[in-house]
Amino acid sequence: MTVTSTILGRPLRAIAFDVFVAGLVVLIAVVAAASQPGGWPAALLGTGMAVALLFRRSHPSAVAVVVGALGVVQLIADWGPLPFDFAVLVALYSVVKYADRLRDAVLAGLAAATGAVLASLQVRGGGPWWAAAVYFTLVTAATWLVGLNVRTRRLYVISLEERATTLEREREAEARAAVAGERTRIARELHDVVAHSMAVMIVQADGARFMLDRDPETARQAVKVVADTGRQALEEMRRLVGVLRETDPPEPAPALAGRAGPDGEAVAGDPERRRLALTELPALLDRFRAAGLRVRDTVSGEPTALPPGLELTVYRVAQEALTNALKHAGVGAEVELTLEYGPDVVVVRVVDDGQGRPVVNPAPSGGHGLIGMRERVGVYDGTLSAGARLAGGWRVEVRLPLPSGAGTTEVIAA
């Protein structure tokens, strides 16, 4: 881990470098005070430039203005170019690199070039003034271009850091959304597994309690249904908990890599890794028949291979509707389950006659059955209609549009 020391919010290394540069300017001004034009007043002016350079990173434009003003004083005093004037180049470099607006850097460059030409007129020596002007201007232009190059790289690095920060925030937001979606999905699955299974188990347990003395064989069958239903619910619960516990799921088998379950898992031979599919619908109907419903199932149209998430939705809708029929229509009610496959839609219809025997101490309803069905159907832009029939009983119909290319791999939090 890298620890960067700071003073007043500035890195210690940057402060040390600025102090070194300012100290160098002061040293040159003081050492040359006895021999340079202007003497100690000129050395004092150089010290002022050095003090201004201490703030070149935080206030580059202001530092450039101060150093430039001191340079104008130097020109007015006719002291000519002095050794500590490299402070002007440092200030120019700083404003090009650190200024918020490039306009400040352009203005500073023009002012420095003008000062270079004026300073060349005060050069003492035998050479022509224009040669000194060309030299000073080239040095000024080179300093400006170096500062511009460093500024471009600095802004590029800052943009990369901002982009990385933005991507990190987006990943965190996506992770939070994924966690919220996973919780919602698990809540729906838990409702489907626990509420439906418990409803069947309570009905059968009550029936067994009342038939225990009258018809032991019937009571024995009811207890068997309770055990089978509980075993099935436990298996599905283990599947859900197993999905939550896995942090690095195994790679899918090559032969099954093209199929994915509702949890984004491969459909493998392991029963704990399988997904619920319409192939298990007959077993579901048998459990409800054993629970006391007289279920008739009909399939019309040409069955189509559905995407995994859509297939799970069809299964869960049928399970929810049959559970409601058992709880509200009662044992012995006649229920008709119809699956209709159309060219662009699949329809699930569950109709009961409402003429079953009232359930003794019915399982309390959490009130989320129809809401859960509506949420599942809404994922696929489907429609749900549910209500009482004029002839008695209840009718649930779900219409789910088929996606183009149905049967292709789909991973969705159903």
The pLDDT tens digits of the residues spanning 62-95 come to 999 999 999 999 989 888 888 888 899 999 999 9
> Is the pLDDT confidence value at 21 over 60?
yes
With cut-offs at 50, 70 and 90, classify the pLDDT of residue 50: very high
With cut-offs at 50, 70 and 90, classify the pLDDT of residue 257: very low
> Is the pLDDT confidence value at 38 over 90?
no
One CATH from 3.30.70.100, 3.50.50.60, 3.30.565.10, 1.10.8.10 for 170-247+254-401: 3.30.565.10
> Is the pLDDT confidence value at 192 over 50?
yes
From its phi and psi, is residue 367 left (phi > 0), alpha (psi between -120 and 50) or beta?
A: left
Domain boundaries, the chain: 10-124, 170-247+254-401
The one-letter code for the residue type at 381 is D
Give me the helix-helix angle, 196-211 and 308-324, nearest 10°.
30
Which of 393, 263, 265 minimizes the C-alpha distance to 328? 393
Task: State the Rg of the chain over Cα.
Answer: 41
Q: Are 10 and 27 in contact (CB under 8 A)?
A: no
Q: Are 413 and 182 in contact (CB under 8 A)?
A: yes
Q: What pTM did the predictor assign?
A: 0.46
Rounded to whole angstroms, how far apart are CA atoms 290 and 287?
Answer: 5
Q: Are 200 and 326 in contact (CB under 8 A)?
A: yes
The pLDDT tens digits of the residues spanning 139-170 come to 999 999 999 999 999 889 999 999 999 999 99
Q: 190 vs 166, 198, 328, 362, 413, CA distance in Å? A: 36, 11, 21, 20, 14
Give me the helix-helix angle, 129-190 and 369-379, nearest 10°.
140
